[in-house]
Structure 1
Amino acid sequence: MAWDWQVFCKETTTGEVISGCLAGFAKGQDQTYLNWLITAWGWTLAVAILSLIVALVAGLVVGTLRTLPNSPWLVRFANSWVELFRNVPLLVQIFLWYFVVPGIFPAMKDTPPLLLVILALGLFTSARIAEQVRAGIQALPRGQRYAGLALGLTTAQTYRYVLLPMALRIVIPPLTSESMNIIKNSSVAFAVSITELTFFARQSGEETSAPVQMYMAVTVLYAISAFVINRVMRVIERRTQVPGFVAAGGMGGH
C-alpha cells in the first residue's frame, strides 16, 4: 500500500498541496496539516507539563500528610484523597470537572476547558505521586525523624530539612514513570475538544482519509516526548541519588 506523506503539506480547508509545509506559521499564509500537528503537539506538552506541576505540588502535600504522627484526621483526609482520585477513572473525572463542577459552582462556568483538564489530570496523578512520596518517607530509617526532633526541630522543620529532601531523591525513578504516563494520559483532553495530538489524529484522519499517516505521526511524537522526559529524569536521578542508600537499608529500611 502506497502512503501519501504529502498529506501533511495539504491546506486544511481546501485540501490542496501547498509549497512549504510550514508556511502556515507565517502570518497570512494557509495552514497545513503539518502546522496543525506541531500546534497540537504544543498543546499536548502544555497540558502535560502544567498537570505535572499540579500533581507534584498536591502529591507532595498529600503524601506528607499521610505520614504525620499524631494527626489522625489529617491522615484520614489524605488517605481519602488518594482513594478518591486513584479509583475514579480519569475520563470520568474529566467529565465531572467539565460538566458537573461548573453546575455546582456557577463562578466556574467561564473557566477555560484547558484549565479544567489540567486540574483533572493533575489531581488524578497527584494521588499516585502521594503514594510514592509516602513510601519514600516511610522507607527512611525512623532514626532520622527522631534525630531531627532531638535536635530541637519542630515536626514541620524535620520534614522540610531532614525527611523530604531524602525521600524525594529516592522516589525519582517512580516519578519518572508518572512523568511519562502524564504525557500519554493527556490524550483524554480530546474528549472536551482540546486540540492536542489525539484530537488532531482523529479529526485530520477523517478529513484527509489518511488515518494511518496521521496516527503514525502522532505515535512518533508521543514516543519522542516520553523519551525526552525519561532522559531528563535520568540525568536528575544521577545527580541527586543518595550514595549507598540501597546498600544501607533500601526502600524498606527502618
Structure 2
Amino acid sequence: MGILNYTFDWSVLWRDPYGGMLVKGILTTLQLSLLAWLIALVLGLAVGLCRVLPLRFTRLVGGAYVQVFRNTPLLVQLFFWYFAAPLLLPKPAQAWLYDNVPNYAFWAGVVALGTYTASRVAEQFRAGLMAIPRDQYRAAYATGLTTVQVYRYVIAPFALRLILPPFTTEFLTCFKNSALAMTIGVMEVTHTAYYIDSFTWHGLETTTAASAVYLCIAACITAGMAFTEKRVRIPGMIVRR
C-alpha cells in the first residue's frame, strides 16, 4: 500500500479489541514507571547517603554502585535482568521464579529501570547534600544529635527540597525509559501501539496515540512536581515560577 493511498482510520484506537489493549498498555506503562521510581527513590537516597557519610566503606560501596549502574546502558541492564540474572540462581530457585512469578518480563523491567535510575538519583541526592553549608552540619551536631539523626532530621529534608527540580526531570526520564521494556516483551504503551499496527496497518494512528499519551502524562507529572516544589520550597532559594 503506497503512502499516497493511505486511508486514515482513527477508530482503531477505540474499537474492540484494540481500544482495550491500548488502555491496558497505558496502565502497564504507569505501573512500570511508578514501581521503578519507588525503587529508584528509596535505593537512590540510600546510595547517595552512603556516598557522603564519613565512612570509607560506605563511600566505596556507594561509588561502586553508581559506577556500575550509571555507566552501563539501560538496554544492557534490561537484557541482564531478563536473560542472565535467573541463570545465576540455583536450579530450584530458577524453577520457582519461572513457575511462580507471573509476568516475569514486567518485574525484570521494573528492577532494571529502578536500579538504573537509582544510580542517577543517588548522584543528584549527593549533590544536594554537598550543597548544604558545613555550618549547618556543625549546628546540628552542636545540638547533641548523632550522625544518623543529623542526616535524618536536618540534612536529608533540606537536601530533598533543593533537588526537587532535577528529581522532576529524572522522574520524566524514568517514565520515558519505560518504553525500552518492549525489548523484553513487556506490553507497555509503545509495544502495544506497534502490536496493534501489525494487525491493522495503521501505525500512524497508533504511534500518534502513544505519543499523545506520553505528552499528557508528562504534563501531569510536571504540573504535580511544580505544585510540590511550591509547597515545600525554602524561602530565599530558587524555585520554579
Would the TM-score normalized by the shorter structure come out above 0.5?
A: yes
Q: CA RMSD in A?
A: 1.4
Which residue number in structure 2 is paired with residue 66 of structure 1?
51
Which residue number in structure 2 is paired with residue 6 of structure 1?
11
Q: What amino acid does structure 2 have at the position aligned with 1:116?
A: A
Deviation at 1:130, TM superposition (A): 0.3
Which residue number in structure 2 is paired with residue 100 of structure 1?
84
Which residue number in structure 2 is paired with residue 41 of structure 1?
26
Which residue number in structure 2 is paired with residue 22 of structure 1?
none
Deviation at 1:4, TM superposition (A): 1.2
Verify the 8 A CA contact 2:29 2:178 in the aligned structure 1. yes
Aligned partners of 2:110, 2:156: CA distance in 1, in Å?
A: 26
| Highest RCO, 1 vs 2 (Cα 8 Å, sep ≥ 6) | 2
Q: Which of these residues, 137, 145, 150, is aligned with residue 142 of structure 2?
A: 150
Structure 1 residue 175 corresponds to structure 2 residue 167: yes
Which residue number in structure 2 is paired with residue 91 of structure 1?
75
Deviation at 1:5, TM superposition (A): 1.0
Verify the 8 A CA contact 1:52 1:122 in the aligned structure 2. yes
Verify the 8 A CA contact 1:59 1:130 in the aligned structure 2. yes
Deviations 1:99-154 (A, max 9, x none): 11100014253242211111110000001100000000100001111111121111
Q: What amino acid does structure 2 have at the position aligned with 1:8?
A: L
Aligned partners of 1:9, 1:235: CA distance in 2, in Å?
A: 33
Aligned partners of 1:232, 1:152: CA distance in 2, in Å?
A: 37
Deviation at 1:9, TM superposition (A): 4.2
Which residue number in structure 2 is paired with residue 166 of structure 1?
158
Structure 1 residue 206 corresponds to structure 2 residue 190: no
For residues 15-30 of structure 1, the aligned pairs below 5 Å read none
SS in 1 for 2:186: coil
Cα separation, partners in 2 of 1:242 and 1:41, compared to 1, 3 Å: same
Structure 1 residue 141 corresponds to structure 2 residue 133: yes
Deviation at 1:83, TM superposition (A): 1.0
Which residue number in structure 2 is paired with residue 228 of structure 1?
220
Aligned partners of 2:13, 2:162: CA distance in 1, in Å?
A: 44
Aligned partners of 1:192, 1:239: CA distance in 2, in Å?
A: 39
Which residue number in structure 2 is paired with residue 23 of structure 1?
none
Deviations 1:174-222 (A, max 9, x none): 0000111111100111112111111111111111111110100000001
Verify the 8 A CA contact 1:183 1:225 in the aligned structure 2. no
Verify the 8 A CA contact 2:22 2:189 in the aligned structure 1. yes
Aligned partners of 1:241, 1:186: CA distance in 2, in Å?
A: 29
Aligned partners of 1:166, 1:37: CA distance in 2, in Å?
A: 41
Aligned partners of 2:57, 2:176: CA distance in 1, in Å?
A: 35
Verify the 8 A CA contact 1:58 1:123 in the aligned structure 2. yes
Q: What amino acid does structure 1 have at the position aligned with 2:232?
A: T
The structure whose residues are more often helix, as a share, is 2
TM-score of the superposed pair, with normalisation by structure 2: 0.90
Aligned length: 226
Verify the 8 A CA contact 2:13 2:209 in the aligned structure 1. no
Aligned partners of 1:164, 1:193: CA distance in 2, in Å?
A: 38
Aligned partners of 1:203, 1:128: CA distance in 2, in Å?
A: 32
Q: Percent identity?
A: 38
Structure 1 spans left out of the alignment, 5+ residues: 12-31, 248-254
Q: What amino acid does structure 1 have at the position aligned with 2:74?
A: L
